Structure 1
Amino acid sequence: MGDGPTARSGAAARRWAGRVGSAVIVVWGAATAAFLAQIAQPGDRATAVLNLRTGQVQERSPDELAPINAEYGFDRSAPGQYLDYLGGLLRGELGTSYQQHRPVWDVISEQIAPTLALSVTALVLAWVLMLAWVLLTAGRGRVAAGWGSAVDSFLASMPQYWLGVVLLLGFAYGLGLFPVVGGSGPVALVLPALTLALPLAGFLAQSTRTEFERVLEQPFVLSARLRGSGDLAVRLRHVLRHAAFAPLTLTGWALGATISGAVIVETVFTRRGIGRTLVSAVESQDLPIVTGIVVLTAVVYVVINLVLDALYPLIDPRVTP
């Protein structure tokens, strides 16, 4: 009775409730940290907002500040501001930009498409490079494995800013194969995506290689070879399926890393996107845009991880949903 379908369904529901609850806590924590960063800023926020709008840094009279305080709720207590802030997030509102005097969501939505295209392209490219390299070098003997591990470590340790500059100098300025700055279309996406993908591929390969080589030693792999399966077929159909859990577990983090890495890459390659928007917002102290991007990144992170949790049982039925 205890192991019947109803009991298993109940256990699965409790596990998923726990996962969703953990995801909500992560987003709430990120949102709370972002709010605390806003109110912890030195100086008067209403003065900063008015200076941003007028482009003049000067002392403001109480009469000038009163409308700003009322508009943004700065005249309320900190707990009251926090509750208003959380209520807005629950309604899908990220606040109003200090500088542009527009909803933060409108500002972000105008810039999010190029960043998502860059992040997804970089993540796919990192997986392709990682899989090709691991399949080529893992379990091929000490020399190949040593070279494979060395390249993994080298790629994973490369700073994105340095790598972006090197790729820009070599392939854009030197060979003229790609646009130097800006540009649009697939060609303009190659160097920025590589800048994000190469270190990420090295990191994913490090987490995959050990498990891949361990699975190669399992009895079912030997059985597959005895049945006449070729080496590539064994690696793709049997070994990779079991070794993919480590990099899959890191994929949610990896997508978040590519979005945060876009801050550097979009600056180096002068691309549109939320990375450059974030840099501009930090420089101008437009805090609602900064906190909106922080909350959005946290939401993307937890959603991707929930999707991956749902996919694990499809990859390996032994995994409990």
Structure 2
Amino acid sequence: MLRWLGLRIAGGVFVLWAVATLIFFALRLIPGDPAQAILGGPGSQASPEALAQVRLDYGLDQPLAAQYFGALGRLLRGDLGTSYALKTDVGALILDQFWGTLVLTLAALAAAWIFALGLALWTTRGGWLSDRVGSGMEIMAAAVPHFWLASVFIIVFSSWLGWLPAISVPGPIGLVLPVLTLAIPLAGFLGQVMRESLADALESPFALSARARGESETGVRWYHGIRHAALPGISLSGWAFGALLSGAVVVETVFARPGLGRTLLNAVTIRDIPVVTGVALVSALAFILVTVVTDLVDRIADPRLGTS
């Protein structure tokens, strides 16, 4: 276990370095002058003297290699820098926006699990017709783009019915449409693997043995089948969390919800390099931690993995 954990930590450090390196060079390939972005963009009409002073203050006059290693050194010290546009500490800004995105993604992940398990139980119980209908629903849900689904929800539940707000508001009611927008496509992916795993579990020798001992069909499903159906879902939860973080960019923008996704989009638009780097690193770190926790839960649920 210690060896496995050590390899995970080493892999996580490598991923963080790769993300920081990729973002550093990618942002510098975008046309435009970072010094102008710091001073408010091309429309600020900054003087050459002001641009030169900003380049000197932020180290932008140094060679690219010196800028790169300087940025890595600051990241190793936990210094994410100062936002070019907002002139605030990037770490504090990200911490303020992080919790909204975390609540959104965790709520969407929980809802996707509920939808996927419910659909798997229904399709494996109702025979051939329900299996085909459930399979079609899973494929349709998995293929729906987030921006299209969000637009449909706003039109139906906000404009026509007036049940839910079109933009995010404080409280649970403001989470309903954003959570459903993220959860439904993910439930389509999870439902496919859970349904197949549950169907295999219900036909396995241990299920037949449980029925032979007199256990009811409901008991076989809930006490034996669900555990095996959940295993592939647990394995995919780490990937699912990453997919939800990327989907949060669209959802938070459409529903005007504060969070990391909306912050990242705004920062990319105005070329706020410290904010883009900070959000990407925090998202990568959260994804790594969730993946490690998912693997641990997977090993607890399926002890056979502990020997691999």
TM-score (normalizing by structure 1): 0.90
Shift of 1:76: 2.2
Equivalent residue of 1:200, what SS?
helix
Deviations 1:245-283 (A, max 9, x none): 211111112112212211111122121222221222122
* Greater mean alpha carbon deviation, residues 33-42 or residues 119-128: 33-42
1:138/1:148 contact within 8 Å kept: no
Q: Which residue of 1 aligns with 2:115?
A: 129
Which has the larger displacement, 151-160 or 175-184? 175-184
- Aligned ranges 1:1-321 → 2 under 5 Å: 12-52=1-41, 56-58=43-45, 60-61=47-48, 63-138=49-124, 140-320=126-306
Give, in angstroms, the shift of residue 81 of structure 1: 1.6
RMSD value, Cα: 1.8
**Structure 1: segments with no counterpart, 5+ residues:** 1-11
Which residue pairs with 1:4 in the alignment? none
SS in 2 for 1:320: helix
Q: CA deviation at 1:140?
A: 4.1
List, as ranges, runs of 4+ consecutive aligned residues in structure 1 with deviation greater than 4 Å: none
Gaps of 5+ in 2: none
8 Å Cα contact 2:193-2:232 kept in structure 1: yes
Post-superposition CA distance 1:259-313 (Å, at most 9, x none): 2211111122121222221222122121221221111111111110111122222
Q: Quick one: which amino acid aligns to residue 315 of structure 1?
A: A
Distance 1:212 1:37, change over 3 A: same
Superposed displacement of residue 38, structure 1:
2.4
Question: How many residues matched?
Answer: 307
Q: Which amino acid aligns with 1:30?
A: V
Letter in 2 for 1:146: R
The one-letter amino acid paired with 2:263 is: T
- 1:136-163 C-alpha deviation (Å, 9 max, x unpaired): 1126432221111111101101111111
Query: 1:16, 1:27 → 2: CA distance?
Result: 17
The DSSP-based 3-state class of the residue aligned with 1:138 is helix
How many percent identity over aligned positions? 42
Displacement of 1:113 after TM fit?
A: 1.9
Q: Which moved more, 1:42-51 or 1:174-183?
A: 42-51
The separation in 2 between residues aligned to 1:95 and 1:236, in whole angstroms, is 51
1:168-208 deviation line (CA, Å, top 9, x unaligned) = 11111111111122311001111110010011101111122
Q: Which amino acid aligns with 1:141?
A: G
TM-score by length of 2: 0.93
Match of 1:5 in 2: none
User: Any conservation in 2 of the 1:47–1:60 contact (CA below 8 Å)?
Assistant: no
CA distance in 2, matches of 1:140, 1:90: 56
- Change in Cα spacing, 1:231 to 1:70, as seen in structure 2 (3 Å) is farther
Q: 1:198-235, CA deviations, whole angstroms, 9 ceiling, x for partnerless residues?
A: 11101111122222212222100111112222222212
3-state DSSP class of the match of 1:56? helix
* TM-aligned CA deviation for residue 59 of structure 1: 5.7
